[in-house]
Homo-oligomer: A and B are copies of this chain.
Amino acid sequence: MTQKQIAVLAAEPCCASVLAAPLDEDEAVQLAQGFAALADPVRLRMLSMIAASDEVCSCDLLEPLGKAQPTVSHHTKALADAGLIVGEKRGRWVFWRAVPERIDALRRSLTP
């Protein structure tokens, strides 16, 4: 996990809620970055595939998504920067795993 990702997680420890109290500026920026990562159909399908399996290799995302390799790499980076997935390089491959805690933090922010 990159320093950037750790910073994001640390800045949003647990419980910023959109629906409960008036959100302050910083909380809004943090949450908006998280939702921005979900605001693309390609990334949503990516996250969907990764979360459905334990581990998914980047090479297994190309064909189902129908996108070029740099595009897939760009989107995995976006999801990783948002802390929603983490990648582990083993040999030639990078295996991606979902980060349920981070996904759950966004989900809880929409909880009444």
Taking beta carbons and an 8 Å cutoff, which residues of A are in contact with B? 18-23, 25, 28-29, 31-32, 35-36, 38-45, 47-49, 51-52, 64, 98, 100, 103-104, 106-107, 110-112
Contacts and interface: CB of A to CB of B under 8 A. Distances in A.
Lowest 10 CB-CB distances: which A-B pairs, in order?
A36-B39, A107-B110, A28-B41, A35-B38, A23-B48, A39-B39, A35-B39, A19-B51, A28-B44, A32-B41
Contacts of A64: 22
A44 B19 contact: no
Contacts of A51: 18-19
Contacts of A98: 19
B45 A40 contact: no
